[in-house]
Amino acid sequence: MKPKVIVNVAMSADGKIALPDRSEVKISGEEDFKRVHELRNDVDAILVGIGTVLADDPKLTVKDRFVEDPKHPLKIVLDSKGRTPKDAKLFREGDFLIATTKKIDQDGWIKCGDGKKVDLSKLMKILEKKGIESVLVEGGGEVIYSFLKERLVDEYYVFVGSMVIGGRNSPTPADGVGAQDIDDIISLKLFDHQTLDDGMLLKYRVEYHD
């Protein structure tokens, strides 16, 4: 069975996830950080795009400050052009997997398709064979939109922080090309909400229609 895919992202009240130059903004507070680290500890893998690695250099670990005896899920990066820096912080601890395309030949990297970007359906099949049952997609906007567009997302969680970032070039939770007409719009069904810190967590199921 395809791994369950959960998207988790934090955005400002005006729907932005970082500054226009893509540098990181602390949108969540302690309560939401704790929730995210518990969620990371519950899944088999955490996935980000190379854009997020280059912008934020995340560790993608589970902090023992939030979770006792954390299990450290597999970290996955989508990188079709081989741009992941060798000293990226995600390499420091735990297991990782870089998913790329046929053009890139790097020891240990996994080739998913011969297109311009990592073929997500192929990646899901590889992960399924590895026994991965759940994947947490943490960003950024390009990667989240690809997963949504490929109809691979089961649940979409967004924390809305009490701030306005603004800027027409600031990244949003779902960038990429976006819907080209009304039929491309992806429907969500709200199933849970919760006040955390001074923001709101919204949890949706994704409803793909034929």
Ligand X SMILES: NC(=O)c1ccc[n+]([C@@H]2O[C@H](COP(=O)([O-])OP(=O)(O)OC[C@H]3O[C@@H](n4cnc5c(N)ncnc54)[C@H](OP(=O)(O)O)[C@@H]3O)[C@@H](O)[C@H]2O)c1
List residues binding ligand X (CB under 6 A). 9-10, 17-18, 22, 24, 27, 48-52, 55-56, 78-81, 83, 117-118, 120, 138-143, 146, 171, 175
Pick between residue 133 and residue 175 the one whose CB is nearest to ligand X. 175
Which residue's CB is nearer to ligand X, number 17 or number 43? 17
3-state helix, strand, coil in the chain (%, to 5): 20, 25, 50
Least distance CB 128 / ligand X (angstroms): 17
Retrieve residue 39's tokens.
């969620």
Instruction: Write down the least CB distance from residue 191 to ligand X, Å.
Output: 20
Six-digit token string for 170? 């600031």
- Shortest approach of ligand X to residue 158 CB, angstroms? 9
Which tokens is 126 given? 């590889």
Cβ 14 to ligand X shortest distance, Å: 13
Nearer to ligand X, 9 or 69 (CB): 9
Nearest-angstrom CA–CA distance, 39 and 82: 29
Asked whether the CA dihedral 91, 152, 154, 128 is positive or negative, the reply is negative
CA atoms within 13 A on the CB side of 30: 2
Please, which residue, 21 or 107, has the CB nearer to ligand X? 21
* CB-facing half-sphere around the CA of 153: CA atoms within 13 A: 30
